[in-house]
Amino acid sequence: MFSHLALITALRHELQPLLASGNWRQEKIAGRSFYCRSFAGKEVIATTSGLGKVMAAATTQMLIDRFEVDLVFNFGSCGALDPELVVGDLVLASQVIEYDFTSEHKAVPTTDCDASLLSELSRCFSGLKIGPLASADRNADTVEIREGLFAQYQAVAADWEGASIVRVARRMGIPALVLRGVTDIGGDDLVTEYESNYQMVLPQVAKAAEKMTTFLAEMKKG
């Protein structure tokens, strides 16, 4: 169904488990590294954006313009907002909420991910936690913030880059998905919690992202 699939993570250690397998070739553009490989006539392009919405949006646009991608798939880590989530759960965003956007004239931007693709993935991959994802250039690092986001937006998890990636892709008429693995559930020390869990969680997320993009590449239209 898709011929040019883009995979984006924020940080190198989120992408590295994916690059560890497969025959990737490296391409440099504007000092940035893009990793490409082909299979069954399809092209997969993987890269890191760096932290935050601005870098993620710029990277998404570069992928669309330079590689003519027809699907954008963001993956990485997240913090749980839903108290029922546990470390290692895989969250597939149904929509992304840019909750740090503030304006007297416009509501907080909320962008839906592709419903038909979500339906296909939920049918074929068990154990996914599907729900809204809250994104902002800040950590949801207190109990009060996490409880507030869950209550106000019913967001199940929080990240930094998902909202900007989906918004840019959808503005360009391209479907986008966000898959995140829970690395922290709201303990007293966010950094310590993340450091304790990411080496276990991130390879699982990368493996799931690879399986899902392969599945999507092989889907037939209609």
Environment class of residue 173 by beta-carbon count within 10 Å: exposed (0-12), middle (13-18) or buried (19+)?
Answer: exposed
Q: Give the pLDDT confidence score for residue 189 in this predicted structure.
A: 74
Taking residues 135-154, report their average pLDDT: 90
Domain residues of the chain, as ranges?
A: 4-215
Q: Does domain 4-215 have CATH number 3.40.50.360?
A: no
Q: Are strands 90-98 and 129-135 parallel, antiparallel or unpaired?
A: parallel
The answer on pLDDT for 222 being more than 70 is: no
Q: Give the pLDDT confidence score for residue 142 in this predicted structure.
A: 84
Q: How many residues does the chain have?
A: 222
- List the one residue out of 108, 123, 130, 136 whose CA is nearest residue 177: 130
Max CA separation in the chain (angstroms): 50
pTM of the model: 0.94
Angle at 177 between CA 113 and CA 93, to 5 degrees: 65
- Interval 27-83: pLDDT, tens: 999 888 999 999 878 999 999 999 999 999 999 999 999 999 999 999 999 999 999
